[in-house]
Chains A and B, each alone.
Chain A
Amino acid sequence: MTRTVTKQKASSPASLPKCATGIPGLDEITGGGLPKGRTTLVCGGAGCGKTLLGIEFLVRGATLYDEPGVFIAFEETAEELAQNVCSLGFDLDDLIETRKLAVDYIYIERSEIEETGEYDLEGLFIRLGHAIDSIGAKRVVLDTLETLFSGLSNVAILRSELRRLFRWLKQKGVTSIVTAERGEGSLTRHGLEEYVSDCVLLLDHRVEGQISTRRLRVVKYRGSVHATNEFPFLIDEGGISVLPITSLQLQHKASIERISSGVPALDAMLGGQGFFRGSSVLVSGTAGVGKTSLSCHAADACCQRNERCLYFAFEESEAQLLRNMRSIGLDLEPWVKKGLLRFQVARPTMNGLEMHLAGIHKQVEAFQPHLVIVDPITSFLSSGTDSEASSMMVRLVDYLKSRQITAFLTNLNHAGSVLEQTNVAISSLIDTWLLLRDIELNGERNRGLYILKSRGMAHSNQIREFLLTEKGVQLTDVYLGPEGVLTGSARLSQEAKATATAVQRSLEIERKRGELARRQQGLEAQIAVLQLQFQTDREGMEQDITNEQAYLERLEQSRHEMAMSRKAVSNGNEAHPKKKGHK
């Protein structure tokens, strides 16, 4: 993006030498800084930060790039100036002492001056030259040169002298900033832009709908590519930061790493592993469906991985959030104390959209989080129009993606609006979209969760009932039957019914099993009786057989004995005669 442009510019041999300002963001949009050895005009209305820009240019130059600087003040004394910028963490006195900075206050009071003929500004040149030479300055700021016009009446002399001054500064090889008040219909009140033709920056401080936003624009930059948009900038305890945030390119990397949502059942629905790292997650739903609770689960999971989470809350204070989350068994306070979780709580109307975005950028740069939660994004609607809010969200999501930071956004749907639509129209940017909805049934309101989409993963198509319990968010299966989707107590009673039926069935089986066993026992008993009877019969029969045989033997015996007694047969085998005789 702008960063790459910077690199390209720096590497191309024919490019203009630049002098880095050290002001975050400004060097990016100017492609490396202000034109080296030339004069830059900074113009803007009262109170838009011209002097500060000048001072910061010198302070950063002295501290970051070891380039001493001279500040020629026409409006404030050195002491006043040092006091004014002290709140921004700039110690001018120290820089002056170490000969990194020279401040010269030029006092011109028309009422004390009598003009008695031709003159020139050689006095100014000598002072400036002396200041530059005394510390070997590389940077010069003249704030505000136009004061000369109110102090001296001979405009013709002044104009030619100013022209000479800018030429002289160029010859000196110093990179300079000249500030000027914005005029009616022109960039500056006295037309200084005619003399300074290399680079012109315009600062602006606009109020729209009671919300003020500072903006900076590079009006002109001879010999260099530069961004032409208006960029919002911040003045805070760290000085100025310009935010080049209008770039929109789809070049971000796509991680295959998965991170937990903090709710195991939800992870299971998301292909078993949760979200992709660096993806954008949107949770939308009407009021009170548990968007914040889900966000806090994600924050908790992030901190458990020992990663940092930045939570932008626009509805609740930090203390209130912590208390409320404790009621569902989530204690986030240890993470806050450990420095893994940071809450940024603000009313959405506190700043304009651009300033919010700028603020988020700044916080993200400072904290370097792995997860950013914005709860809810719909708050931004109150500080801008729909299209502005939408463009801001696009840039925010884009920015977070380019940084591989997972974005977790919540969207408050208003009752009656189409659920599958966000108010800030960013649905197409979202990778994983969870929808929380109310299911009203049998005089109850229950929560349901389903995944509207989740790019790049197999995900569940089920509607799950979303429960807020003492142990956090839990997802249960909803009952789907002939009566439709049942949730809450309807689901419970249906489940109870099902359980009762199941119990009855199992009892029946038990009973059948018992009967079978009993039948078998009966049968076995019968078999035993029969066997016993058979045994008895057999024994009797065998006895009979034995008896018969014994009788036959005895009969034979007795016949033989009889024959013997009749001497009918000899001793031996006299069968036939025996038989005959028997007849």
Chain B
Amino acid sequence: MMMQTTTEVFEERVAYHSQERYVLCLYVAGLTPRSTLAIETIRAICERYLSGRYELTIIDLYLQPEMARKAQIVVAPTLVKQSPSPIRLFIGDMTDETRILQGLRIAS
């Protein structure tokens, strides 16, 4: 029920602020093939759908381990959508593009 409500609010916001900036943060654990795949996929999605209005930071948890605690990361890779609200987490190698687009509320 909660999910539905959140989604509805989100849809409204997307409708009203279709030009809103996306602040995304991708946490990976080292440059494993899975990390590389995730980075490439998310970059491609951003370029295709959010060109010019997104900000993507990629953080390697091995280099900044304290960031895992700060951002409540358990799983790698994790993409955190900090803005627009609500905060949303995407875990995995980002191969499921439909779910990402749905989660980001980007009309395909």
- The contact sample of 11 A-B pairs, CB cut-off 8 A, is A106-B74, A112-B86, A115-B91, A116-B79, A119-B93, A120-B29, A120-B75, A123-B61, A123-B68, A123-B75, A126-B73
Within the assembled complex, what's the spacing in Å between the Cα atoms of A118 and B90?
A: 11
Contact (Cβ within 8 A) B74 A116: no
Number of A-B residue pairs, CB cutoff 8 Å, is 102
Q: Is A113 an interface residue (CB 8 A)?
A: yes
Q: Is A121 an interface residue (CB 8 A)?
A: yes
Closest 5 CB pairs of A and B: A117-B92, A122-B29, A130-B65, A122-B76, A117-B95
Contact (Cβ within 8 A) B88 A122: no
Shortest beta-carbon distance, B59 to chain A, in Å?
11
Q: Is B2 an interface residue (CB 8 A)?
A: yes
Contacts of A120 in B (CB 8 A): 29, 34, 75-76
Contacts of B103 in A (CB 8 A): 114, 116
Which B residues have a C-beta under 8 Å from some C-beta of A?
2-3, 6, 27, 29-30, 34, 38, 61-62, 65-66, 68-69, 72-79, 86-96, 99-100, 102-103
Q: Is A108 an interface residue (CB 8 A)?
A: yes
| Least CB separation from A124: chain B residue | B74
Interface size on A, residues (CB 8 A): 27
Q: Is A129 an interface residue (CB 8 A)?
A: yes
Q: Is A111 an interface residue (CB 8 A)?
A: yes
Mask: chain A, 140-155; 1 = CB below 8 Å from B; 0 = not: 0000000010011000
Contact (Cβ within 8 A) A121 B75: yes
Contact (Cβ within 8 A) B90 A114: yes
Of B2, B68, B90, most buried by chain A (CB within 10 Å of CB) is: B68
Shortest beta-carbon distance, A388 to chain B, in Å?
47
Within the assembled complex, what's the spacing in Å between the Cα atoms of A289 and B13?
A: 86
Within the assembled complex, what's the spacing in Å between the Cα atoms of A174 and B38?
A: 33
Within the assembled complex, what's the spacing in Å between the Cα atoms of A117 and B75?
A: 12
Contact (Cβ within 8 A) B73 A123: yes
Contacts of A114 in B (CB 8 A): 88-91, 99-100, 102-103
Contact (Cβ within 8 A) A127 B68: yes
Decide yes or no: A123 and B78 within 8 Å by CB, A114-B88, A130-B66 being known contacts: yes
Of A114, A115, A130, A131, most buried by chain B (CB within 10 Å of CB) is: A114
Contact (Cβ within 8 A) B3 A123: no
Within the assembled complex, what's the spacing in Å between the Cα atoms of A131 and B90?
A: 24
Q: Is A107 an interface residue (CB 8 A)?
A: yes
| Least CB separation from B88: chain A residue | A112
Contact (Cβ within 8 A) A127 B90: no
Within the assembled complex, what's the spacing in Å between the Cα atoms of A106 and B72?
A: 6
Shortest beta-carbon distance, B91 to chain A, in Å?
5
Mask: chain A, 88-129; 1 = CB below 8 Å from B; 0 = not: 000000000000000010111001111111111111111101
Name 7 extra pairs, CB < 8 A, besides A123-B61, A124-B74.
A108-B74, A115-B96, A119-B92, A122-B29, A123-B73, A126-B29, A129-B65
Shortest beta-carbon distance, B108 to chain A, in Å?
15
Shortest beta-carbon distance, B2 to chain A, in Å?
6
Within the assembled complex, what's the spacing in Å between the Cα atoms of A125 and B66?
A: 12
Contact (Cβ within 8 A) A116 B96: yes
Contact (Cβ within 8 A) B65 A107: no
